[in-house]
A and B are shown apart, each in its own frame.
Chain A
Amino acid sequence: MMQGGNRWMRALLPAAMVAFAACDATPPPAGMERGAELFETCVPCHGATGQGDADIAAPAIAGLPQWYVQEQLMGFQAGFRGKHADDLPGLRMRPMAVSLNRDGDIESVSEYVASLEATYPASTLHGNAGRGADSYVVCVTCHGEDGLGNPDLHAPPIVQMHDWYLLNQLRNFKSGARGAHPEDVWGGTMRVNTLVLDDQAMQDVIAYVQTLR
């Protein structure tokens, strides 16, 4: 009987060791591999290629610069973004950002997102690009004539974003759902520039941005 028990022990020991190894929770070091692993959490909403999903108001994020994705994720964590009762998509995003709680998580997933090819989603709004060109004069200072942004001014590229997402964000900035937090300095800068825009002017300027592609 004892010998039989030892045989079982010898047979099960390697399996147990493999099982323990599989349970090892040590994540890969910060970088693309860990970023790809973390991105699995983003896929249900933002899609496998970061193309976004309009049905659930998840914007295209593929190809956004690493510094911008990092800043926004940190903003979500700090409560600058996604912590306003009227910002429903932001409320969905915030807990996802909060779950990136290990050193290097934000940098890794941001690097991975930046490595994806930008998708330039089709237009869905019907603004007047001609009128929007006049309003865009204000935006040029930070976002540039080509709409590719300026990291020094914390202004992201906007040409590759969904138009409905840009409209939602302009509305959020104007209402104070975004950019109103006293510590969100760059959001505050953006907010000031949206206060003069009515809804039609927002759609017009977005229509112009889409012509910059």
Chain B
Amino acid sequence: MTPDLIQGSTYAADIDNLILGIGILVGVWFLAAEGIFFWLIWKFRAKPDQKSEYLTGKEKHVKRWITIPHALVLVCDVFIVVGAVNVWFNVKQRLPEPDSEIRVIGQQWAWTFQHPGADNELDTADDIFTVDELHVEVDKVYHFRLESRDVLHSFSVPVWRIKQDAIPGRSITGWFEPTVAGEFDVQCTEICGIGHGVMAARVSVEDANTHAQWISTASSATTP
């Protein structure tokens, strides 16, 4: 597995499998349609002394080339819709009980992260603010509150398969549970001005000890 394909959250594999499933279903139909298309071109190619024939498409034996695939595609659609709704519900509509909470604020052209301090409560005096640097603990469920200070942004962590728009004036709640420790990219995936391309940050997913140590160090650094 290449580093780009790390599935770093509990739902990353679900999203990947859904995309793979859609790709396979669509791919099979694409190959079948192209195969039949070229087979028909070859079968009914120009031949000596044979006139072309106009087909109305109303005859049953002709119409079934449309109706049978149509019905089969609808069956495939059912699989896709059921799979997609299932993943959507799990990622976007279900909110599992959090172990911790963070605030993510987008602005041209940086990400500000508000972490809870040692009390593990957001919006208290010991909160830790960082710019372009998010710290979380592995195997913990986080709720995030996503906000924007100016224009549309989109909070994206590819290894977690998260992508959520940030909208000025709104606080959008979501969740994630990182499962792989390491340092990964955070990016903005909504064109937000001339600096959009360099609006990048990093997330450190740490084990419990390292994370506690970071909270301790960062708290003492920000204490007035």
Contacts and interface: CB of A to CB of B under 8 A. Distances in A.
Interface of A: 41, 44-45, 82-85, 88, 91-92, 94-96, 98-99, 176
Contacts of A176: 224
B199 A95 contact: yes
- Name which of B107, B109, B114, B195 has the most chain A CB atoms within 10 A of its CB: B195
Interface residues of B, number: 17
Contact of B131 (A41, A44, A45, A84): A84
Contacts of B112: 85, 91
A94 B110 contact: yes
B194 A91 contact: no
B214 interface: no
B131 A85 contact: yes
B129 interface: yes
Contacts of B173: none
Nearest to B112: A85
Given A95-B198, A96-B195, A88 B132 contact: no
A92 B108 CA distance: 5
Contacts of A84: 131
Contacts of A92: 107-110, 195
B149 interface: yes
B153 to A, nearest CB: 12
A98 B198 contact: yes
17 contacts: A41-B194, A45-B194, A85-B105, A85-B112, A85-B114, A88-B107, A91-B109, A91-B110, A91-B112, A91-B131, A92-B107, A92-B110, A92-B195, A95-B109, A95-B195, A96-B198, A98-B198
Given A91-B110, A92-B109, 4 more contacts: A85-B114, A95-B110, A96-B194, A96-B198
B50 to A, nearest CB: 29
